[in-house]
Structure 1
Amino acid sequence: MKNLKITLLAALFMAVGCEKDTIDNNVESVVNEDAATFAEIGTIAIGGEGAAEISAYDETTKRLFTVNNSATNQIDVVDLSNPASPKKVAVINLAPYNGASNSVATHDGTLAVALESTIDKQANGKVVVFKTSDYSLIKEITVGALPDMVTFSPDGKYIMSANEGEPNDDYSKDPNGSISIIDIASNYTVTTLDFTSLSSQATSLKAGGFRISHPTNNFAADIEPEYVTISEDSKTAWVTLQENNGVAKVDLATKTIAGIFPLGYKDFNTVANGIDISDKDGSIVFSPWKVKGLYMPDAIASYNVNGVSYFITANEGDAREYKANTDIIRIKSAKLDPTAFPDAAALQADAKMGRLNIISNMGDTDKDGDLDELFCYGGRSFTIWNGSTGSLVFDSKNDLDKRANDLNIYDDGRSDDKGSEPESVVVAKMGSKNILFVGLERADAVVIYDVTNPSAPVYLQTIKTGDAPEGLLFIPASKSPTKRSLLVVSSEGDGQVKIFQPNLK
């Protein structure tokens, strides 16, 4: 009966002269899928470590474009017309462009690739645009240093890249982190924005938890954009500034940075936020500890509910580890204030807090040479924030780690670092519901939630993936070759791309 309804609906739209895309979009609304039942239907290995970091899907060719830096710099092209049996059909060689790919995105028959320079990592990078039909070059655009992520705006008018601008090891070169906005209709004209104009806000931003750790306190050079999400109406973008513990808001109409949201700190000294803090205690127990976490998000996604925009962050955490600037230390090696930590000797044991990696140059509030507070990397969670104000709406507390542990996939060897390490997030519409997918790099899993109510997400399912899932890609039913929603997970640890599909209700 369900198939008959779909057939009749399609016939009705044909009768009134609607285009195929319109039919597909309306058929999608009829597909009644259960978002708690995703199961693997296909897999393909395209190489070893580093071979499958990020993937993008092109509806016009039914092909998947996947970053592959395991041996040579290339994009692997996979035929996804039968998701149960994906097949590698071509390679786009990136050697002529002197760059290594970090990210890919597609829109309306075009493929955008973010390339960092292989000649000088601190030099400007590129976004290279190809046709998805024959892989011919459309345009080569210079952007900021080390473009780490690229995406199209939903309306297809813009390409954006987050240019991380990492320093070299001795900080003799440290380009400003930046954001590039490429205007496609204007012959791919590029506007690259850095954060120099916001440097006067450094003091107030730091008070809110924003972090500048540059050896010379260089505000613009220290900021490192990581990941971009763009609003449904293509007017606003939000960009994670991971090491800085912030998110930048970008006005696409004016091509300006509207501001920075400092994300503050997460208090792990509560039962709901309790973490397994040691990899040497012989057990996995989630308990309160006197330490705070900087959210330091990697991936970011956005969605709209009743006219209100929200963005969602995967709170991975990341240290500065350079010869000229290393800020990571274990608690057992830190000097703790005897008043704040009267039981310091006991706490610094390996089976207690001693193994936890913390930020070495934060927490000396009275400037006397010891740490009065402890700050670690990442929130071990996903967080939903108000897109206009940057205020916290919901944090998953310790749910990700506990879900992984319930399935015996929690990696206790990462307890002293960042736990299950939430790396990626994607939010998608399935029927009337907004569904969130969270990739856990160290648990090798994706956790799925219903986030239709941003203040009260509902857990749905956990699915096992390849090793170290990096890229999550949702293909809606209207664009899927099966006319069913698909989740594509690209794992950089083992070079596997896995395809998951839900059951019908």
Structure 2
Amino acid sequence: MKRLALIFGMIFTLASCMERGGKGIPFQSNFTQVSSIDIGGEAAAEITAHDPETQQLFVVNNSLSSTVDIIDFSDPQNMLPTGFIDITSYGGGVNSVAVKNGLLAIAVEAFTKTDNGSVLVFETSNLETPLAIIPVGALPDMVTFSPNGRYIMTANEGEPNDDYSIDPEGSISIIDVEMGFDVTTLGFESFEGQKEALMAGGYRVFGPNASLAQDTEPEYVAIDSKSETAWVTLQENNGIAKVDIKRKIITDIFPMGLKDHTKNGNEMDPSDRDGGVNLQNWPIYAYYLPDAIVSYSLGSAEFYITANEGDTREYETYEEESRVKDLDLDPDAFPNADFLQEDENLGRYTVTTASGDLDGDGDFDVLHGIGGRSFTIWNGNNGTKVNDYKNLEKDLLATNPSLYDDGRSDNKGVEPEAVEIGIVNGRTYLFVGMERADAVAVYELRGIGGVTYVQILETGDAPEGVLFIPSEESPNGKATLLVSSEGDGVIRVYQN
């Protein structure tokens, strides 16, 4: 079996080389690991930011208490911890960090997570006292700077409390650095009238007694190269919010639809009890449910790419997940229900029970899966799909089959969680972090929607943050990729 996989991998790699080089001569990205550092155990290395002015790394660390660890990165092959910023007096936990123009922004949730959180801003050259403490929405889960450094934006997830008795509205905050850190927090109340149309397109509004504004949970922010437009993943809702930054308004919600796993090219393995990896078509329509997002431009056109991880809600009084074998399937829609509900088929596959009973009679007429097991390129103007890359798991199986965890086949697969873009020698590369494969897949982007496989990088356990540092900002002049893994607290450094 291993021999066949190796042969197949060699053939696949050769084909990719032919596609890239045209004459069989590959352009190798040559990203290789040059160092690593262990800063703790689980939850010790979640998100990492880099400051090119001081050559420091700032790392979210929630392993013991809540800190932002500081690492000397002046020598990428010999990283040295130098201290930390204690977050415990500012809130209930740190969720994200970002750096731009000598400023460090830290997203901190409140002591009670349903209360409004804050963003701390420090000078990277003086980390003793924050320049500003800025109130934002509930549970700021991600923070980022605009490319021009003028704006700081947060995705405020607004999760409910454990018994769903309090469900704050999700929101997006825009902080104007040049205007004394003036903040505007945007909600989704104005979209309530579009609820039915959005849901018809695949948008999910399903929390107990929740309005659309309460149910919407922003996750991750990408900002265009002109610092004018942002796209924000609404993960549990299966949508994208488009934001006009200068006007400070949310202009659109783009529903993402469903992925049809009955179609050729959309094969998947839904079972961890079928004796191995078996990619086939099944009667499943999966929500993309994206986590991270990154934007890029091609001429005057703007695009964004989502990592379609999948996510569901699980609280004391509400839980939406179920295995297919535990559902009552409609006999007309699924005349072969007994076959499908066997463990080696769809029986152990995890679906959502929040939708799928189309006629309200108590049984399921459609199976709605969780996560796209892919990354997708979307048109930034209108949210239309350009290319759902179908071969993410296939590329891993063809080249690094030992990294595929078949034990996760029944639940979101490799879980693509992180996406990042970097330019090396005039070529644009996409880096896709796969949480359950402990790996980052590297692709070259060419033209509108063109994707070419390059390589797989093995990472630490459960890669959460993927950060590209261009050669001009790297301490040794080499294009650099940082991968921080929350499962084992390890940061790995790869250079080109």
Per the normalisation by structure 2, the TM-score is: 0.93
Residue from 366, 370, 374 that aligns with 1:377:
370
Q: For 1:369 and 1:70, how far apart are their aligned partners in 2?
A: 43
**Is the 8 Å Cα contact of residues 312 and 385 (structure 1) preserved in structure 2?**
yes
Residue 126 of structure 1 is matched in structure 2 by 118
Equivalent positions of 1:6-85 (< 5 A) are 36-85=29-78
| Alignment pair present for 1:165 and 2:158 | yes
Residue from 291, 299, 302 that aligns with 2:292:
299
Q: For 2:354 and 2:138, how far apart are their aligned partners in 1?
A: 27
**Is the 8 Å Cα contact of residues 305 and 452 (structure 1) preserved in structure 2?**
no
Q: Which amino acid aligns with 2:80?
A: K
- Could you tell me the percent identity over the aligned residues? 50
Deviation at 1:56, TM superposition (A): 0.3
Q: For 1:332 and 1:446, how far apart are their aligned partners in 2?
A: 33
Residue 115 of structure 1 is matched in structure 2 by 108
Aligned partner of residue 220 in structure 1, secondary structure: helix
Q: For 1:322 and 1:285, how far apart are their aligned partners in 2?
A: 33
Q: For 2:227 and 2:369, how far apart are their aligned partners in 1?
A: 35
Q: Which amino acid aligns with 1:499?
A: V
**Is the 8 Å Cα contact of residues 35 and 430 (structure 1) preserved in structure 2?**
no
Structure 1 residues 231-240 or 207-216, which shifts more?
Answer: 207-216
Q: Which amino acid aligns with 1:473?
A: L
Q: For 1:271 and 1:176, how far apart are their aligned partners in 2?
A: 39
**Is the 8 Å Cα contact of residues 122 and 132 (structure 2) preserved in structure 1?**
yes
| Alignment pair present for 1:474 and 2:484 | no
Describe the superposition over 1:211-267 as per-residue Cα deviations: whole angstroms up to 9, x where unpaired: 001111411110000000000000000000000000000000100001100000001
Q: For 1:132 and 1:416, how far apart are their aligned partners in 2?
A: 44
Residue 486 of structure 1 is matched in structure 2 by 480
**Is the 8 Å Cα contact of residues 40 and 499 (structure 1) preserved in structure 2?**
yes
Residue from 260, 274, 278 that aligns with 1:267:
260
Aligned positions, number: 468
Deviation at 1:134, TM superposition (A): 2.2
Deviation at 1:322, TM superposition (A): 1.2
Q: Which amino acid aligns with 1:366?
A: D
Q: Which amino acid aligns with 1:268?
A: H
| Alignment pair present for 1:437 and 2:431 | yes
Specify every segment of 5 or more residues in structure 2 that has no aligned partner in the other structure, as ranges: 1-25
Aligned partner of residue 450 in structure 2, secondary structure: coil
Residue 454 of structure 2 is matched in structure 1 by 460
Equivalent positions of 1:142-291 (< 5 A) are 142-291=135-284
Q: For 1:501 and 1:430, how far apart are their aligned partners in 2?
A: 11
Q: Which runs of 4+ in 1 moved over 6 A?
A: none
Aligned partner of residue 407 in structure 2, secondary structure: helix
Residue from 428, 439, 449 that aligns with 2:422:
428
Describe the superposition over 1:38-73 as per-residue Cα deviations: whole angstroms up to 9, x where unpaired: 000010000000000000000010010000110011
Q: For 1:72 and 1:168, how far apart are their aligned partners in 2?
A: 21
Q: For 2:457 and 2:439, how far apart are their aligned partners in 1?
A: 6
Per the normalisation by structure 1, the TM-score is: 0.91
Deviation at 1:37, TM superposition (A): 1.2
**Is the 8 Å Cα contact of residues 310 and 370 (structure 2) preserved in structure 1?**
yes
Deviation at 1:404, TM superposition (A): 2.3
| Alignment pair present for 1:415 and 2:409 | yes
Residue 97 of structure 1 is matched in structure 2 by 90
Q: For 2:289 and 2:91, how far apart are their aligned partners in 1?
A: 31
Q: For 2:344 and 2:190, how far apart are their aligned partners in 1?
A: 46
Aligned partner of residue 446 in structure 2, secondary structure: coil
Q: For 1:431 and 1:309, how far apart are their aligned partners in 2?
A: 22
